[in-house]
Structure 1
């Protein structure tokens, strides 16, 4: 038993030495990672201490450490709030719609761009498609207001020229989800396609040559080679999207939501901003935000476990 214990200890020491040896061997790569690690520590991990505000009666005089403990008071207050389940329902509805409709769009765009042989046209379309990613939602919503207004907007002018009545798209319950989903796709589809184009560029070209020799056309090559080859990337991106299913994006909903659409447009992100910044209820807003984070972590763990069993592809 003693010999076994000594051998186990020696083996552990050897493993530690080999880990440090590998780190030193690849020290330049770790050096490049260092700024990102420092950024995450400063802006993601250190601020997590502020989550204790959710369990305290926060006041500015005492600060985080000097404020009295409140336990689960603010969590109970949120779930007892008469609109809490409506807000959660709105968040899940918009998130699921974005996931189901929006998630495949970058994949489709990447597959289509990969089939384009004229490089100038391909680069032009790719540049135009990912530029909206860098535009603020304030600008995007302003463009939407100018495009969709019934008072001289080009979309409604075209509808009127076809003999139909003009439509009030913004602030309308009937068209609210369509505007939210389509504007989100327009803003994100190009930048998301870059990831899949990078994955497609790594596919072995010999597979395509073999498929051509077997008589496979472009569609069959895409279906049987390209898509299966990028499936691990698709799964990883889907898992990450599942982790954000409780986070719709407060900027878009804050700007597009109006009193007439509040019944379906008030989501957790907007509610947290309103409670924390507008009403000054920092402890309450932190509790709601922490609830969002916990649900997101649970969803990504469950989705990752299912993916590991079904596809043998996972985040960890």
Structure 2
């Protein structure tokens, strides 16, 4: 009798927890229904295609399909990395990606801080709209704008140079200027989207921190340095970790629309190599090996960046 009476409160607690969990499930059914399309998208377009990675270890052909094509082991990787061109492609991918991160990552943070200091709301909204608008442009449109600006014979910049100096410059055919234009166009297109994220993070900072720092004699620069930047550090680290996963993946559209034979040595990256050799050349197994290598490197970099962030209590998991 004593043990039965003692166990009754425990059973009641379990029943209450079960009822509470059921109630929360019923309350969240509309949200779960909204989540279903997102789940299906990732399952169909992200996880199911992972099965195709097996082509990297096979001598794939259309007639036999993925499952019945002969197994080749690591032969595709041996062919890939014995080709001197492969090292150059990997180098180009790393250089362009690192430049995008080093130069492009601080840009939206600086822009968000500057916009946060604007007191005229109409001006702030107009600037936000203007910097966010390029995010919706396709890279075909961005490439057309770049060519309109920097083309040798018809470009606006070269037309101004010819009037002032009497000569023109091959901006799109010089390797250094091409890299600068590529990185700059990427910042112009995507900085506005990240700026909105950082502006939202800044608005979550407690205003009393700014008031306290102002009473302590901190000017705007010190408030930005000691209040704003620490306040958005978790958001910045989160975005940086996600970008580390794309270090080997520069992107296809952004490179392909600006690529030309004159800058092939610095513009040929993994994505364009996969398109030309895999899709146009029909060497699916070889480019699958390259794609798998790219994914593994990105996976390792994400985990390494997260482990480094965890030492400062800023990790994703």
**TM-score, normalising length: structure 2:** 0.90
Equivalent position to 1:79, from 81, 106, 117:
81
- Partner secondary structure for residue 68 of structure 1: coil
Q: CA deviation at 1:127?
A: 0.7
Structure 1 runs not aligned, ≥5 long: 1-9
The superposition leaves residues 229-255 of structure 1 with CA deviations (integer Å, 9 ceiling, x where unpaired) of 110000111111111100001111112
Q: Which residue of 2 aligns with 1:259?
A: 261
Matched, 1:312 2:313: yes
Matched, 1:57 2:79: no
Task: Name the CA distance, whole Å, in 1 between partners of 2:64 and 2:19.
Answer: 49
Q: Which residue of 2 aligns with 1:229?
A: 231
Q: Which residue of 1 aligns with 2:199?
A: 197
Q: CA deviation at 1:34?
A: 2.4
Q: Which residue of 2 aligns with 1:46?
A: 48
Task: Name the CA distance, whole Å, in 1 between partners of 2:116 and 2:150.
Answer: 33
Bigger drift between 238-247 and 169-178 goes to 169-178
Q: CA deviation at 1:158?
A: 2.2
Structure 1 residues 23 and 49: alpha-carbon distance in aligned structure 2, compared to 1, 3 A threshold: farther
Q: CA deviation at 1:184?
A: 0.8
Task: Name the CA distance, whole Å, in 1 between partners of 2:62 and 2:18.
Answer: 49
Aligned residue pair count: 302
Structure 1 residues 216 and 295: alpha-carbon distance in aligned structure 2, compared to 1, 3 A threshold: same
Q: CA deviation at 1:209?
A: 2.2
- Partner secondary structure for residue 162 of structure 1: helix
The superposition leaves residues 87-132 of structure 1 with CA deviations (integer Å, 9 ceiling, x where unpaired) of 1111111111111111110111111111111111111111111111
CA contact (8 A) 1:159 1:166 kept: yes
Bigger drift between 211-220 and 253-262 goes to 211-220
**TM-score, normalising length: structure 1:** 0.90
Q: Which residue of 1 aligns with 2:7?
A: none
Q: CA deviation at 1:20?
A: 5.9
Matched, 1:147 2:153: no
Q: CA deviation at 1:23?
A: 6.3
Equivalent position to 1:208, from 210, 215, 218:
210
CA contact (8 A) 1:56 1:70 kept: yes
Equivalent position to 1:288, from 284, 287, 290:
290
Task: Name the CA distance, whole Å, in 1 between partners of 2:315 and 2:166.
Answer: 50
Task: Name the CA distance, whole Å, in 2 between partners of 1:251 and 1:105.
Answer: 22
In the TM superposition, 1:1-316 aligns within 5 A as 24=25, 26-163=28-165, 165-309=167-311, 311-316=312-317
- Find the structure with the greater CA-based Rg: 2
The superposition leaves residues 28-76 of structure 1 with CA deviations (integer Å, 9 ceiling, x where unpaired) of 4433322211211111111111111111111111211221211111111
CA contact (8 A) 1:203 1:226 kept: yes
RMSD: 2.0
CA contact (8 A) 1:171 1:257 kept: no
Q: CA deviation at 1:173?
A: 1.9
Structure 1 residues 36 and 217: alpha-carbon distance in aligned structure 2, compared to 1, 3 A threshold: same
Task: Name the CA distance, whole Å, in 1 between partners of 2:313 and 2:214.
Answer: 29
Q: Which residue of 1 aligns with 2:3?
A: none
Task: Name the CA distance, whole Å, in 1 between partners of 2:186 and 2:225.
Answer: 27
Structure 1 residues 73 and 22: alpha-carbon distance in aligned structure 2, compared to 1, 3 A threshold: farther
- Partner secondary structure for residue 61 of structure 1: coil
- Partner secondary structure for residue 315 of structure 2: coil
